[in-house]
Amino acid sequence: MKEKNKSITLFILPALLFYAVFTLAPAFGGIWYSFTNFNGLNPNYEFIGLRNYEMLIKDKNFINSILFTLRFVGIMVILQNIIALILALLIETRTKTKTLFRTLVFMPNMLSMIIGGFMWMFIFTRALPYIANILNSEALNVSWIGDPKYSFIAIIIVSLWGGVGYLMIIYVAALQGVAKNLKEAAMIDGANTFQVFRNITLPAIMPAITIGIFVTLNNSFKVFDVVYSLTGGGPGRSTQVIALNIFEEAYSFNNRFGYASAKSMVLFLIVFVVTLIQLIIMRRKEVN
Amino acid sequence: MKKILLLLVSFMLVASLSACAAPQDDAPRKVTLKVFMTFPRFQEQFEDYFEQFKVKMLAEKNIDVTIDLEMPISDQADQILKARLSTNDAPDLFTLHAIADIPSYYEAGYLSDLSNQPFASELLENVKDIVTYDGKVVALPLESLAWGYLYNKDIFEKYSLTAPQTITEMNNVVKVLKDNGETPFLLAFQESWIPQLMTALAIGGVVTSEKPDFVDRMNAGTASYTEIAKIFDIIDIIMNNGTEKPFEVGNAAASADFAAGKAAMWVQGTWQAQAILDINPNINIGTAPLPVSENVNGSLINLSVSTSLALSPTSKNKDVALELLNFILDKEASSALFEELKFNPVAKFHDYEVFPWADEAMSYVALGRGYRDLSLPGAVTGEQAKLLQSYYAKTVTKAEFIATIDEVWANSLE
C-alpha cells in the first residue's frame, strides 16, 4: 500500500507543484494584499485591516459591475442552456451529418475568446454596417459596440457563440444515455414528440442540466476575455463586468493593488458560494 | 585506471586555474550596465549610439562596457519595470513617464538625485522644470512634447481658414467646414485616453488663464470642478460636430481616417503625427492650441515631458551609468541622435531641424502661449477618460460628471 501511495504522489507532484506555485501562492498573496494599501510599486505599504472592504461596499462602480454581471449571468444561464439543448436535440436527430454539425458547433469553443472578440469586433463594426447599407436596414445599422443598449446584446451574442459548443457536447452525451426502449414504449402508447420529451427525456437528462447550469454560472461570473476584447468595458463603464473592474483598479491609472485584491476576494467568495451550492445539490441527487 | 584518469583531469583543471593571474594594470575594467527602455521602435538607433559610447569609454577611461539593452513593448513595460523595482532587481538605467510616474517613483525611493550632473545645467528651462521634483532633477528628459490639436493644413487652406484662437473663431471655422461638406472633428473614442486629451487641454487652458491655483485648491479639498465647468463649451462643440460612431474607431483607424482627410481637425498630440505621415506622406499637418473661451490667453500649447531616463540608486556601477546618462546629452553626439529619433530639443545646444508642426507649436510657446502639463491624480485622469465616453453616450450629465470627478479627486487624496 505504501509503495502505491508513494508512486501516486510522485506522479502528481509536478502538477501539484505547478498548481501550488502559480495558483495557490498568488491566491494567498492576494488575501494578504487585500488587507494592505499596496500600490504595486512602493515596497513600503501599510497593513490597513478591513478598510479596503469597507470602501468596496460603498464603491458605486463596483456595485454596478456586480449588478451588470448578475444581469449577464442570468441571461447567459437561461439562453446558453436552452440553445445548447435545442442544438443537442437537433444534432441527435441527424444521422448522416451528425459529426459534421457537432464539429461546427464546437469549433468556436476551441478559439481563444480574445481572438473571438476581435473577430466579432470586425463583424460588428465593419461587416454589419456594410450589409445594413446594402439591405437598407435601419435595424442592423446601429452602433453595436458604441451604444450601451446594443453592446450588451453584442457581448451576449459572442459569449453564446463561444460557449454553446461545450454545453452541447454534455447534452449530446446525456441524450445518448436516455433509454431508447422507454421512448419507443411511450410512442407506441400514443405520446407525441413533445410529451415524450417532457416526461421521459427531460427527467433523464436532469443531471446534465444541473451541470450545465452550474458550469455556465461559474464561467459567466468570471467573464473577462470577451468583454475586454469587444468593448473594453465601455463606453464609459456601461459594460464593465466584475473582472474588468478589478483589472482596471489594479493596472490602469488607479494602481490600487490592495483594493483590487480585496475586490477579487469578493468575487472569489461569490464563485465559492455558487460552487458550494452546486456540490451540495449534486451530492443530494447522487444519493437519490 | 579510472582513478588515475580522474586525478589527471582534476590536476589539469587546477593547473589551468593558474592562468587566471592577478589582473594586470593595463587590462580594461569590465562593466555591464543594464538599461531598460520603452522604445522598441528605436532599438537600432540606441544600439548604434551605445556603440559610440563604448568606443569613447574604452579610449578615454579604459573601461570595457557591455550594455544589456531591454526594450519591451510599452503595454507591458510598466508592469515589468514595477515588478523588477519592487523585487530589488532594478536596472541601472530605466525609462519612466515624467509627469505620470516621477511622484510615485520618487516617493518609493527608486530615483536618484541628478542635479549636479553636467547634463542638468544644459537642459532647457521648461523641460528641466518638468523633471524636477522636491527641488532635485531626478530624470533625464528624452521625449519632450509641445502639443494642442492637429489640423489638416490642406483643408484649412482650401477654405482660407486659419487656426481659431477663441471659441467664436472656432464656431466660425466649424460653420465654414460644415457648409462645404467637410467634417470638422475626427472623433475616436474607443480608446479612452484619446477623449481624455480634450479635458487635459481644456482644463489646462482654463486653469492657467483664469484659476492658476485650482489644482492646489483641489488637493486641499477647497475647490470643485463647477468652477471650471466652461471646459464643456469646447468639448460640446467638438462632440457635436464630429465623425459618426466614434466608439468603433481606435487610434490606428483614426490615424488612417485623418490621413485620408475624413476630418479637418483631430484632438490628438504631435506624437501621432509621424504615424499619420507614414500612412499619407503628402498630408500637411499643423498643430494649434485649443481655444477654451473668448480669452486668447486660454488657448495654450501643452508642454510636457513623457519618456525620461532615470538612474537607480541601487546601481552597482553608478559612475559608468552616470557617464552613459551624460553621454545621451553629449554636446557633440547628442544632436544627431535626437534628430534621428525625431525628438524635440531638450538641451540648449540642440540645434537640428524639427518637424513643421513642432516648429508651429514652439512658435506659440515663444509668444507665451504654452503651459506646463498639469499634475492631476492618476485616478482623476482615468475617471475623466471614462466619464467623457459616458458623456458622449449621454448616460452621464454635466452635473454628474462634475460631482463624480470631485468625489474621485477627494478619494485619491487619502
Task: Write the ipTM.
Answer: 0.77
Mutate to test the interface with B, among A253, A254, A256, A257 (most CBs of B within 10 A): A253
Residue A148: closest C-alpha in chain B: B393
CB contact under 8 A, B86 and A41: yes
pLDDT band for position B197 (50/70/90)? Answer: very high
Find the residue in A nearest to B195 (Cα): A236
pLDDT in tens, B265-311: 999 998 888 889 989 999 999 999 999 999 999 999 999 888 899 99
Which residue in the set A42, A235, A254 is minimally distant from B390, CB to CB? A235
- Asked whether residue A230 is assigned to any structural domain, the reply reads yes
Tell me the CA distances in angstroms from A135 to A128, A185, A206, B245, one per residue in order.
10, 50, 44, 20
pLDDT at A135 exceeding the cut of 70: yes
- B322 close to A (CB below 8 A): no
- Which residues of chain A lie closer than 8 angstroms to B390, CB-CB? 235-238
Angstroms from B243 CA to nearest CA on chain A: 13
B105–chain A Cβ distance below 8 A for any pair: yes
Contacts of range B213-216, beta carbons closer than 8 Å, 24 or more positions apart: B215/B374, B215/B375, B215/B376
Rounded to two decimals, what is the model's pTM?
0.80
* Per-residue pLDDT at A288: 54
The most distant pair of C-alpha atoms in chain A lies apart, rounded to whole Å, by 78
B149 — contact with chain A (CB < 8 Å)?
no
**Is pLDDT above 80 for A117?**
yes
Instruction: Please name the member of B191, B378, B389 whose beta carbon is closest to the beta carbon of A255.
Output: B378
B378 shares its domain with B235? yes
When pLDDT is cut at 50, 70 and 90, the band that residue A147 belongs to is confident
Same domain, B137 and B226: no
Residue B149 in contact with residue B287, Cβ under 8 Å?
Answer: yes
Nearest CA in chain A to B389: A236
Q: Which of B340, B357, B374 lies at the terminal end of a domain, its last residue?
A: B357
Separation CA A183–CA A188 (nearest Å) = 9
Interface of A with B in 138-177 (CB under 8 A): 143, 145-148
pLDDT at B45 over 80: yes
B240 or A288, greater pLDDT = B240
With pLDDT > 90 as the criterion, what percentage of chain A qualifies?
A: 31
Using the predicted structure, report yes or no on whether residue B21 has a pLDDT greater than 70. no
- Cβ atoms of B114 and B120 within 8 Å: the answer is yes
Asked if the structure places residue B19 within a domain, the reply is: no
Same domain, B214 and B249: yes
Are the beta carbons of B382 and A248 separated by less than 8 Å?
A: yes
Do the Cβ atoms of A234 and B245 come within 8 Å? no
Query: What is the average pLDDT across B145-152?
Result: 92
Beta carbons within 8 Å of A232's beta carbon, 6+ residues apart: A244, B190, B191, B192
Q: Do A143 and B245 touch (CB under 8 A)?
A: yes
Mean pLDDT, residues B128-155 taken together: 91
Contact B246 A145 (CB under 8 A): no
| Residue B67, in any domain of the structure | yes
Please check the confidence at residue B314 and state whether its pLDDT lies above 70: yes
pLDDT > 90: percent of chain B: 43
Query: Are residues B220 and B232 part of one domain?
Result: yes
What length does chain B have?
Answer: 414
Contact status, residue A30 vs residue A17, Cβ threshold 8 Å: no
* B234 lies in the same domain as B368: yes
CA angle A64, A69, A71 (to 5 degrees): 95
Average pLDDT for chain B: 88
What is the H or E stretch that residue B28 is in? none
State residue B155's pLDDT score: 93
A231-250 residues touching B, CB cutoff 8 A: 232, 234-238, 248
The answer on pLDDT for B25 being more than 60 is no
Confidence bin at A98 (pLDDT 50/70/90): confident
* Three-state DSSP class for residue B93: strand
Judging contacts by C-beta atoms under 8 Å, the chain A residues touching residue B386 are: 234, 236-237
Q: Which of residues 177-216 of A touch B (CB under 8 A)?
A: none
Residue A7 in domain: no
- C-beta atoms of B379 and A253 within 8 A: yes
- Residues B296 and B315 placed together within one structural domain of the fold: no
- Does the residue A162 lie in any domain? yes
Mean pLDDT of A85-105: 87
Contact A40 B86 (CB under 8 A): yes
- Cis amide prior to A26 (ω within 30 degrees): no
Q: Summarize pLDDT for B212-258 with one digit per residue, the tens.
A: 999 999 999 899 999 999 999 999 999 999 998 898 888 888 999 99
Confidence of residue B26 (pLDDT cuts 50, 70, 90): low
* Residue B183: domain span: 146-303+360-412
Q: Do B395 and A148 touch (CB under 8 A)?
A: yes
Residue A36 lies in a domain: no
* Total tally of structural domains belonging to chain B: 2
Radius of gyration of chain B from its Cα atoms, rounded to whole angstroms: 26
Q: How sure is the predictor about A79, in pLDDT bands with cuts at 50, 70 and 90?
A: very high
Q: Are residues B50 and B101 in the same domain?
A: yes
> CB distance A235–B387 less than 8 Å?
no
Q: Quick check: B389 and A232 CB within 8 A?
A: no
Please tell me whether residues B53 and B164 are part of one structural domain: no
- A232–B248 C-beta distance less than 8 A: no
User: Is B390 in Cβ contact with A236 (below 8 Å)?
Assistant: yes
B86-136 pLDDT per residue, tens: 888 889 999 998 888 888 899 888 999 999 999 888 888 888 888 999 899
- Terminal-residue alpha carbon distance, chain A: 33
Contacts of A209 (CB under 8 A, 6+ apart): A81, A85
B244 lies in a domain?
A: yes
- Distance to chain B for A27, nearest Cα, Å: 17
Average pLDDT over every residue of A105-130: 87
- Tell me which chain A residues have a C-beta less than 8 angstroms from the C-beta of B196: none
Q: What is the mean pLDDT of residues A256-267?
A: 91
B54 part of a folded domain: yes
B276 and B192 co-located in one domain = yes
pLDDT at residue A255 above 90? no
- Residue A45 at interface with chain B, using a CB cutoff of 8 Å: no
B274 interfaces chain A, CB cutoff of 8 Å:
no
At residue A202 the predicted structure's pLDDT band, cuts being 50, 70 and 90, is confident
CATH number at residue A68: 1.10.3720.10
Domain total of chain A:
1
**Edge-to-edge strands, sheet with B301-305:** B144-147, B301-305, B370-372
Read off the pLDDT band of B140 (50, 70, 90): very high
- Interface check B246 vs A, CB under 8 A: yes
Q: Give the domain range for residue A222.
A: 60-285
Task: Indicate whether B150 and B266 sit together in one domain.
Answer: yes
CB contact under 8 A, A143 and B82: no
Identify the residue among B386, B392, B406 best suited for mutation to test binding to A, counting A beta carbons within 10 A and taking the highest.
B386
- The residue among A262, A61, A126 whose CA lies nearest residue B407 is A61
Mean pLDDT over B143-150 rounds to: 91
State the average pLDDT over residues A165-192.
87
Dihedral, B203, B208, B209, B215 alpha carbons, nearest 10: 70
Do B269 and B316 sit in the same domain of this protein?
A: no
Per the CB < 8 A criterion, the answer to whether B173 and B164 are in contact is: yes
**Residues in A touching B105 (Cβ below 8 Å):** 41
User: B107 and B180: one domain?
Assistant: no
Mean pLDDT score across all residues of chain A = 87
Q: How confident is the model at residue A189 (pLDDT cuts 50, 70, 90)?
A: confident
A197 lies in some domain? yes
Residues B184-204 have a mean pLDDT of 92
Percent of chain B exceeding pLDDT 70 equals 97
**Is A9 within a domain?**
no
Q: Is A125 in the B-facing interface, judged by CB distances under 8 Å?
A: yes
Q: CB of A278 within 8 A of CB of A270?
A: no
> Residue B248 is nearest to which of A43, A146, A236, comparing CB atoms?
A146
Looking at B341, B357, B373, which one is the last position of a domain? B357
Interface of B with A in 359-388 (CB under 8 A): 378-379, 381-383, 386-387
Q: Measured between alpha carbons, how far is B209 from B294 in angstroms, rounded to an integer?
A: 11
Q: Do B382 and A253 touch (CB under 8 A)?
A: yes
Q: How far is CA B357 from the centre of its chain?
A: 17
The reply to whether residue A146 touches residue B245, judged by beta carbons under 8 angstroms, is yes
Find the CB nearest A254 among B191, B378, B387: B378
Q: Is residue A242 part of a domain?
A: yes
Percent of chain A having pLDDT more than 70? 98
Specify if B403 maps to a domain: yes
A265 lies in some domain: yes
State the CATH number of the domain containing residue B91.
3.40.190.10
pLDDT band at B312 (very low <50, low <70, confident <90, very high): very high
